[in-house]
Amino acid sequence: MERQTAAMRERSRRAFPEPDVVPDDALASIEATRAQCRRQAVATEAAALRRARQERAARETGTPADVPPSAALRDTA
């Protein structure tokens, strides 16, 4: 029984090796990922504000807004 258990543990260790050392920049990569997510969120918000202003201006003037067709499709889904 002990031999089987040892064999299973060895196979598990080979299949799922654990890193011996945690890289020093692991925290930095998490912060970089968070910063990238924040930048994407800010860009998305800015694009939404521009589009809303454009649509509002179009409603006020009575002219059709210059909204790309792909953007119009996203609203219907």
Provide mean pLDDT across the span 42-53.
96
All residues at 6 or more sequence positions from 54 whose CB lies less than 8 Å from its CB, including other chains: 65, 66, 67
Residue 73 within a domain = no
pLDDT at res. 30 = 83
**pLDDT exceeds 80 at position 71:** no
Q: What is the pLDDT of residue 63?
A: 77
Q: Over the stretch 5-35, which tens digit does the pLDDT of each residue have?
A: 999 999 988 888 876 665 666 667 788 889 9
Residue 40 domain boundaries: 27-62
Distance CA 72, CA 22 (A): 46
Q: What gap in Å lies between CA 44 and CA 47, rounded to an integer?
A: 5
Residue 22 included in any domain? no
Amino acid in the structure at residue 12: S
Number of domains, the chain:
1
46 domain residue, yes or no? yes
